[in-house]
Chains A and B, each alone.
Chain A
Amino acid sequence: MQGHWGDTLQPALVQHVELTAIAVGIGFALAFPLALLAHRYRPLEHPIGVLSALLYTIPSLALFQLLVPFTGLTWTTVEIALVSYTLVILFPNIVAGLHSAPDEVLEAARGMGLTRRQVLLKVELPLAVPAIVGGLRIAVVSTVAIATIAAFLLPDGLGYPIFLALKEPTPFKTEIYSAGALAVALALVCDGLLVALKRALVPWARKGLA
């Protein structure tokens, strides 16, 4: 494994982190305003939810291939697909988080004279943080996993050493196990970081849903 670290695994790991970070970043930037909109105008929630559930069923390999005629064998292709998946995960979680404030709490906030915007910023958003971070955890872990499929299009990411090894008549086990272990470890580390983030952001919910 040492022989492969510098020339194969390390660049693949860095690319994998980049693929994931871009996808989750853009996905969150799109999902958050959409969720605020759906929270404000409730009738929008159901159609967006159904659409996104259907979008999530599109197999990654097929989605990558179907984008190739438009954007070629590029990172853009991969990111469009990955962003779609993160969007689909993040949107319902953020919406559910925003809806989660109990009616009594909202009533009390309104009774104290808070405006609609203040209710959102001071009550609903803080209460939504656990659900939002929960959504981010799922999005990050899934994206780390799905990004390995990018190897079918691009020589990048942790999937590529595995993809190459599988093309051999007798698959190289070292590549499969080392790159595979790195992908799983990356997912677990990201997940751990987000759990820590949630603990820091919502100290009052320490015994909340993990």
Chain B
Amino acid sequence: MLPIADTTVVEATWVMIVKSLAIFAVIFGILPLMTVLERKLIGRFQHRYGPNRVGPFGILQPLADVGKLLSKEAFRPANAIGTLFILGPLLPVLSGVLALAIIPWGNVQDGVGLYGIDVPIGILYFFAVGSIAFYGLLLGGWSSGSKYSLLGAMRGAAQLISYEVAMGLSLLGVIMMGGSLSLVDIVEAQGSLWFIVPQFVGFLIFMMAGFAETNRTPFDMPEADAELVQGFMTEYGGMRFGSFLLVEYMEIIVVSGVAAAMFLGGWMGPGPGWLDPIWMLTKMLGLVLLFIWVRATLPRLRYDQLMGLGWKVLLPLATLNVLVTAILVVTT
């Protein structure tokens, strides 16, 4: 079998299986906790407690939620397009899981790379795989046969074209400074100075585009629970709806992971080598908290406002950032 991409360190197959299982176990352990954390924090931001009834401090709330979702009927509207409707929630899950693979948790230690996979095309893989999630959104919204879903999907498409370019450009500065596309190499290049300092503009643009990528407030127009009743998810019920929600959190983790690796020095931190994944996780959780904080603060933008922001502000800024970085990298 041909390898999908050149890997820099060759490992035994069982090592890779164990690694992927470990990543799954950790991330899928964090995901439900993140939903509780988000609901509790949003509550605190609004002077209330949030869920605190199920289990100690409401920590078992996701269990109750999933139990409820599983007991629901997998409903399908009469004029939905069957296959695509089922494919809708599956594609984003696939994309999220695939994107998890490149988040670096640490460098090679004892012959084992503490990452899912380190590909030389690194960050391109993230963009390629991350964009698949939007197909799920578009297909799900279109095939539902409902106007709210279609509107949500349309907004999703409009959103996609406005932030993707700026997102790619925002990382270009980091790639130039790191001199590599591989996330591991980029983290290694941040040994002395985290890239958030020289690339602060890039970080801001990336985070804004990240909010749009994950469909989070203030850019949650595809969902827009107020006016589109969850947009592309309107017609979904049960665990299909649940997987859309799950993917949203998975994407937050992925975007936080990439941002932490690209700008916050990834696993860099004081302490012995085995602390590396914990440092990485801490930085990711910090960014997740930022996501929640922003959600508690900002109202939803109209989608022409997002397009204006993407094309008129973020794109020129990102281009300028790339230009200045390029000149500085070449001259020094």
User: Do A and B come together as binding partners?
Assistant: no
Which residues of B does A touch, CB under 8 Å? none
Which residues of A does B touch, CB under 8 Å? none
